[in-house]
Amino acid sequence: MEKAVVGRFAPSPSGYLHMGNLLAMLLAWLDCRALGGELVFRMEDLDPARSKPEYIAALADDLRWLGLDWDRGWPDPAYAQSKRRALYEQAFRQLEARDLVYPCWCSRAERLAAASAPHPGEQQADFGCRCARLSRSEREELLRGGRPPAWKLRCPDETVCVSDGHYGPLAQNLAREAGDCIIRRADGVYAYQLAVSVDDMAMGVTRVVRGRDLLSSAPRQKWLIETLGGAAPDYCHGPLIASGDGKLSKRLGSLSTRQLRQDYTPEALVGRLARLCGLIEKEEALTPRELLSEFSWDKVKTEDIPI
């Protein structure tokens, strides 16, 4: 029997959505609807300092405005990462029992960076800091010292292959090319790589469609899910809309939904996104549902889209 398709939207409310986010959401919607799947909306409000109520409120409203619907998820609080701590805790204990995590007392900047998804230029392989090599007694002494550590995932010297639906096969040695990453910050907040893996597994997600900036995280997430006893989803990444410096920040005001909603009708914006990514040649206003008949990953560009 074919497994039922479950796709997802997983935006972070750390800013208003921008063109690049909207393209990723549109592709996730088209992919899932074309396969007759069920679409889940998960609110990735992991980081309490960066998740603002106005951004949380705007996310769902902006997706609906564009014409994207979902079948389960937000605003049900069970789909907000801030309410799913107990699950992350459970997974953390499982990893701890297998000696796959270690406490780390390194700098604060590194800890803050860990709760957000890595974006181009921000991710560097972490070959394990000195905390990875402490003896048991040194570690216990530091733990007794009372300064709370962050906790890092100890990536194995193992090559994991992901067959990306759009970019093809990616083989990554986790220890050498991805590296150890923080999965629980010193303030107790669980970080992106753990939360996203636990959630994709727990929510039965079978297809992850998102921007190419997260492609390099896919092998680690696949490994985490399988290590925790789950079945990894299929991954399919889409091109990024990039400004001159190679990335689009949510702070780029003119391309944020606040401004876009003044400049475009929803259908005109869907048409613009569809032309930019290669789904249609001549720009025209159309709804996501009308675009479905044009949708095929073969038409979607692999190179990033300059704007």
Among the listed ranges 6-14, 179-187, 229-237, 284-292, the one in contact with ligand GLU (CB under 6 A) is: 6-14
Among the listed ranges 8-16, 55-63, 100-108, 124-132, the one in contact with ligand GLU (CB under 6 A) is: 8-16
Q: Which is nearer to ligand GLU, 28 or 260 (CB)?
A: 28
In the block, tokens 């990033």 appear at: 304
Q: Which is nearer to ligand GLU, 10 or 255 (CB)?
A: 10
The number of C-alpha atoms within 13 Å of 98 and in the hemisphere containing its C-beta is 14
Which residues are 161's β-sheet partners?
171
Cα separations (Å) of 177 from 154, 156, 173, 217? 13, 11, 5, 10
DSSP string, 20-40: HHHHHHHHHHHHHHHTT-EEE
Report if residue 81 touches ligand GLU, rule: CB under 6 A.
no
Which residues are 175's β-sheet partners?
none
Q: How far is the CB of 218 from ligand GLU (least distance, A)?
A: 9
Helix (H, G, I), strand (E, B) or coil at 162: strand
| Other beta carbons within 10 Å of 207 | 20
The answer to whether the CB of 20 falls within 8 A of the CB of 240 is yes
Residue 217-246 contact track with ligand GLU, rule CB under 6 A, x = bound: ------------------------------
Of residues 16 through 75, those in contact with ligand GLU by CB under 6 A are 44
Choice from 7, 11, 238, 288 touching ligand GLU (CB under 6 A): 11
Q: How far is the CB of 62 from ligand GLU (least distance, A)?
A: 13
Of residues 82 through 121, those in contact with ligand GLU by CB under 6 A are 117
Among the listed ranges 9-17, 240-248, 287-295, 297-305, the one in contact with ligand GLU (CB under 6 A) is: 9-17
Q: How far is the CB of 189 from ligand GLU (least distance, A)?
A: 14
Radius of gyration of the chain (CA): 20
Structure tokens at 260: 């876009």
Report if residue 247 touches ligand GLU, rule: CB under 6 A.
no
Q: Which is nearer to ligand GLU, 210 or 247 (CB)?
A: 210
Report the candidate in 220, 185, 177 with the shortest Cα–Cα distance to residue 200: 220
Of residues 115 through 174, those in contact with ligand GLU by CB under 6 A are 117
Structure tokens at 306: 């300059």
Helix (H, G, I), strand (E, B) or coil at 125: coil
Report if residue 181 touches ligand GLU, rule: CB under 6 A.
no
Report if residue 12 touches ligand GLU, rule: CB under 6 A.
yes
Report if residue 196 touches ligand GLU, rule: CB under 6 A.
yes
Which residues are 29's β-sheet partners?
none
Choice from 5, 6, 10, 30 touching ligand GLU (CB under 6 A): 10
Spell 134-163 as b/e; 16+ CB within 10 A means b.
Answer: beeeebeebeeeeeebbbbbbbeeeebebe
Q: How far is the CB of 154 from ligand GLU (least distance, A)?
A: 22
Binding interface with ligand GLU (CB under 6 A) = 10-12, 44, 117, 196, 210, 214
